[in-house]
Amino acid sequence: MRRRRALWVSAVMLVALSACGATGDEKQADDGGTQVATLATPEPDRTGSAQPKEQRPRERLDTTPEEFQALLGPYNRCLEEQGFPNKTGAGGDAPVGRPRVASPEELEKFEAANRICEPQFYPLPPWEKDPANPEARDFALNVVRCLKDKGVRYVEVSEDGISLALGGDQNDPRSISLGLDLAPECERKVAAASK
């Protein structure tokens, strides 16, 4: 119902806007013709890029820790620019995810920098697990079904509607370890089936 109303309102607005220039007070062009206000469509991007240049990176279901660390590059640079130095080593010992903080002062400094950097540069979750995806809950339910088919006894969708809860009320260690081992395989299987 809302969609019909939105389409109807849009159509009325389009007709009203197209009639704007036809009120009789049009300006005369240099060549003597009348100019009428029109809705112009912006020129298409001729560079061939379909996405905006400054877009947050997005993880994939099969993103490796090394790839994720590379996705964090712009985020870490932003933190440094905001005064929170990157304390991860230059080698392969860098932690995956957000930097660790040791003191309350560091935590306060990190939170201030993160408020600026996270919305711009921190990688978005895989689309299948993104809260913005209206089909994310269906994806999680299908992963749960797959895990149960593979022998995980205690698994369900968490309260957030996207994450998995392993172990149940019993905190069953077998369900937890088996679920953690099999979840990536089930996620890939469910994602492939939905394409």
Tens of pLDDT, residue by residue over 75-90, are 999 999 998 876 654 4
In-domain check, residue 19: no
What integer pLDDT is reported at residue 85 of this predicted model?
Answer: 76
- pLDDT for 161: 92
Handedness of CA 137, 142, 145, 150 (dihedral sign): negative
- Do residues 69 and 117 both lie within one domain? yes
- Euclidean distance between CA atoms 11 and 6, whole angstroms: 9
Last residue of a domain, one of 87, 103, 124: 124
Range of the structural domain that residue 119 is part of? 65-124
Verdict on whether the full-model pTM lies above 0.85? no
Q: Is residue 25 part of a domain?
A: no
Domain count, the chain: 2
In a domain, 170, yes or no: yes
What pLDDT is stored for residue 98 in this prediction? 62
| 110 and 144 fall within a common domain | no
Question: Could you give the maximum distance between any two Cα atoms of the chain, in Å?
Answer: 84
Identify the residue whose tokens are 């077998």.
174
Same domain? 119 vs 82: yes
Considering the domain architecture, whether residues 117 and 152 belong to the same structural domain is answered as no
Residues 116 and 167 in one domain: no
What pLDDT digit, counting tens, does each position of 16-25 carry? Answer: 334 444 444 4
Q: Are 194 and 186 in contact (CB under 8 A)?
A: no
Q: What is the pLDDT of residues 31-77, one digit of tens each?
A: 555 544 444 444 444 444 443 444 899 999 999 999 999 999 999 99
Q: Does residue 157 contact residue 141 with C-beta atoms inside 8 Å?
A: yes
Convert the pLDDT of each residue in 181-191 to its tens digit.
999 999 999 99
- pLDDT digit string (tens) for 109-151? 899 999 999 999 999 999 999 999 999 999 999 999 999 999 9
